[in-house]
Amino acid sequence: MATTGAGMTGRAERADALIWAARPHRTLWRDALSRLLANRLALFGLIMVTTFTLMAIFAPVLAPYPYDKADFSAVSRFPTWTGKYPLGTDLVGRDMLSRLIWGAQVSMLVGLGAQVIVFLIGVPIGALAGYLGGRVDAILMRFVDVMYAFPQLLFVILIMAALGRGMQNIFIAIGVTGWVTLARLTRAEFLALRERDFVIAARAAGASPWRIITRHLLPNALSPIIVTLTFGIPQAIFTEAALSFIGIGIPEPRPSWGKMAGETQQYITSYWYMPIFPTILIALLMLSFTFLGDGLRDALDPRTRKRD
Average of per-residue pLDDT across 10-23: 53
- The SS3 assignment for 92 reads coil
Confidence of residue 302 (pLDDT cuts 50, 70, 90): low
Confidence of residue 47 (pLDDT cuts 50, 70, 90): very high
Q: Name every residue whose Cβ is closer than 8 Å to that of residue 124 and which is 6 or more positions away in sequence.
A: none
CA torsion 50-295-213-30 (nearest 10°) is -80
Residue 201 vs residues 87, 191, 195, 212, 216: alpha-carbon distances, Å: 63, 16, 10, 10, 11
Pairwise CA distance, residues 92 & 75, whole Å: 5
The DSSP output letter for 91 is T
What's the 3-state SS for 10-37? Answer: HHHHHHHHHHHHHCCCCCHHHHHHHHHH
User: Closest Cα to residue 76, out of 63, 85, 88, 61?
Assistant: 88
Confidence of residue 27 (pLDDT cuts 50, 70, 90): low
Residue 63 and residue 102 in contact, taking contact as beta carbons nearer than 8 Å:
yes
What is 51-62+86-304's CATH topology? MetI-like fold (1.10.3720)
Q: Is the pLDDT of residue 58 over 90?
A: yes
Pairwise CA distance, residues 4 & 164, whole Å: 86
Q: Is the pLDDT of residue 3 over 80?
A: no
Q: How much is the pLDDT for 19?
A: 53
Q: Is the pLDDT of residue 20 over 50?
A: no
What mean pLDDT is reported for the chain?
82
The DSSP output letter for 72 is G
Q: Is the pLDDT of residue 64 over 80?
A: yes
Q: Is the pLDDT of residue 7 over 50?
A: yes
Q: Is the pLDDT of residue 110 over 50?
A: yes
pLDDT per position as a tens digit, 163-211 = 888 888 888 888 888 888 899 999 998 888 888 888 888 888 888 888 8
User: Closest Cα to residue 55, out of 123, 126, 110, 103?
Assistant: 103
pLDDT per position as a tens digit, 65-92 = 998 888 888 888 888 887 788 988 888 8
Q: Is the pLDDT of residue 63 over 80?
A: yes
- The SS3 assignment for 236 reads helix
First to last CA, the chain: 34
Residue 236 vs residues 112, 116, 198, 232, 287: alpha-carbon distances, Å: 8, 11, 36, 6, 13
- The beta strand positions in 130-249, using DSSP E, are none
